[in-house]
Amino acid sequence: MAAAPLERARTLLTLNRPAEAERELRGLLAREPENVDGHAFLSVALTQQHRASEGIGEATEAVRLAPDHWFPHYVAGHAYHRAGRPHEAVAAARACLALSPEHAPAWELLARAHVSLEQWPQAADAAGRGLAVAPEDVDLAGILAVALTMLGDALRAKEAAARAVGLDPESATAHLAYGRAQLAFGAPAEAARAFREVLRLDPGFDQARDLLVAALKRRNPVYRVLARLRGTFSGGWRMVFLLPAVPPLIAVFVLIALLHWAAWVAEAVTTLRLARARATRLLFDIREARVAALCCCLPAAGAALLVAGVATGGEAPAVAGAAVMALVTPVQEAAHTSAPRGRIVLYGWSGLLGLAAVLSAIASLPTVALLTAYAGVASIWVAAGVRRLFGTGAAHAL
């Protein structure tokens, strides 16, 4: 009796018509309130409609009714994953696999949940075990490639990415994984080709667009060297507390700050060049182009003010010029902070520093200008603290 509405609901879900599937399933459950598959498929229908809490409730009921059946656990894992609760998704996927270890989609679910938690060794292990069950699964191959890329295993990551593309040359996510591996291991030109292919297959894939921009920037050798140095000499915000104990560390702080400043200038120049080029300007929104233009103007304006101050013997304007040049760091740190509240705080900080630089020049306060310059280049630690406080936004690996 329940077979017909269940079959109709499954067909409707396949056709991406979850609201109609929900109506079928609710009618079934009105007649058979303890139908396990009815609750499980209703969870899928609700999850597809972005009603996460309701979907979890239905999945939980299905698990309660049939705890020894793998399918309710699998559905529960998907509901938790879509709701942004990866720890519960991992537990549900493992419960499913304990009952049905040959179910490849459950290995994929487990791998994706570990990716959400940035648990790369576990993600690689789950994806690899899934591929042992389903060697032709392109999604598992792509996840394995991403996990190995994040683990720094260049050879295996490239092999897994090439395998994913070979399994399905029309898969946007396979080309994305291939591009990520190439970008991570020093082949930005090849990565750019892969990301262009992703955008050809799926023009609305924003992550591919951002990665293509990153690949195009890294084709510039100066940008590539400075970006690598910025990543190597990051200087965690906790280093600030070492200064009272080890005063000579100030030289290390200065070096790190100047490397970051130079890298941010290179970032601005490269972004502005790409944003103005006919072939790549559509990759950038107007905000990115404006921030890049501003960060290209700040060093020029600051240098002009510094030269004018030196020429006229004005100490305050000269030092204020250095402070204006230093504003590149806080502005770029703000622009590259994903958390909205953190970005607002950092833009506010940039505005305060800019105001202090202008007032120090007008009121002839060289000490204030010098402190502003120091605060500007030291904004990498301010930004690190702000990101720790407000978060950095969700990471999307695949």
CA 179 from chain center: how many Å?
A: 15
CB 384 within 8 A of CB 102: no
Q: From CA 223, how far away is CA 196, in angstroms rounded? A: 21
Q: What are phi and psi of 211, to 5 degrees?
A: -70, -35
Average pLDDT over the chain, rounded to an integer: 88
Cα distances (Å, whole numbers) of residue 261 to 60, 253, 271: 52, 12, 15
Q: Collect all residues with Cβ–Cβ distance below 8 Å to 270 and sequence separation of at least 6.
A: 217, 220, 223
Q: What's the confidence (pLDDT) of residue 385?
A: 86
Report which secondary-structure segment, H or E, holds 298: helix 286-312
Q: What's the confidence (pLDDT) of residue 395?
A: 41
CATH number given to 1-100: 1.25.40.10
Residue tagged 């498929």 (tokens): 41
Domains of the chain by residue range: 1-100, 120-219, 231-390
Q: What's the confidence (pLDDT) of residue 397?
A: 47
Q: From CA 23, how far away is CA 3, in angstroms rounded? A: 15
CATH number given to 120-219: 1.25.40.10
Q: From CA 91, how far away is CA 6, in angstroms rounded? A: 27
Listed residue (155, 157, 175, 156) closest to 165, CA to CA: 175
Is the pTM for the entire model greater than 0.85? Answer: no
Which residues in the chain come in under a pLDDT of 50?
237, 242-243, 246, 393-397
- Tell me the three state secondary structure of residue 135: coil
Please report how many Cα atoms fall inside a 13 Å half-sphere around the Cα of residue 247, on the Cβ side. 0
Q: What's the confidence (pLDDT) of residue 218?
A: 81
